Structure 1
Amino acid sequence: MRRTAVFITTTVLAMLALLGMKEGARAGYAAKVVRGNDTMTVTGPQVVLAHGIVQVRVTITGGRIVDVDAVSLPHDNPHSWAGGNYAATRLRGEVLAKQSAEVDIVSGATYTSQGYISSLQAALDAAGLHR
Structure 2
Amino acid sequence: MHALRKSRPLRRVVLASAATVSGLVMLLSLKPHTPPQIAAAPAPAASSGSGATAGSDGSGSSSGGSSSGGTSSGGRSTGTKTTTGDTVQTRWGPVQVRITVRNGKITDVTAVSYPSENPRDQEINGYAIPQLRRQALAAQSARIDGVSGATYTSDGYRQSLQSALDSAGL
TM-score under structure 2 normalisation? 0.57
Q: Which amino acid aligns with 1:34?
A: S
Shift of 1:30: 2.6
Do residues 42 (structure 1) and 78 (structure 2) align? no
- Residue 63 (structure 2) pairs with residue 30 (structure 1): yes
Indicate conservation of the 8 Å contact 1:73/1:81, yes or no: no
1:105 to 137, 146, 162: 146
Matches of 2:165 and 2:68 in 1, distance apart?
A: 14
User: 1:29, 1:73 → 2: CA distance?
Assistant: 15
In the TM superposition, residue 46 of structure 1 has moved relative to its aligned partner by 0.9
What SS does the corresponding residue of 2:96 show, helix, strand or coil?
strand
| Partner SS state of residue 147, structure 2 | coil
Aligned equivalents of 1:60 and 1:93: distance in 2?
15
Deviation at 1:43, TM superposition (A): 0.4
Q: Going by fraction, where is strand more abundant, 1 or 2?
A: 1
The DSSP-based 3-state class of the residue aligned with 1:105 is coil
* Identical counterparts, % of pairs: 50
Q: Which runs of 5+ in 2 are unaligned?
A: 1-60, 71-78
**What displacement does 1:32 show?**
1.2
Number of residues of Structure 1 aligned to a counterpart in Structure 2 = 102
Distance across 1 between alignment mates of 2:152 and 2:140: 22
2:40 is aligned to: none
- TM-score (norm. length: structure 1): 0.73
Q: Please, which runs of 5 or more residues in structure 1 have no aligned partner?
A: 1-27
Higher relative contact order (CA 8 A, sep 6+): 1
User: Which of the residues 77, 86, 96 maps onto 2:118?
Assistant: 77
Deviation >2 Å, runs of 4+ = 28-31
Partner secondary structure for residue 40 of structure 1: strand
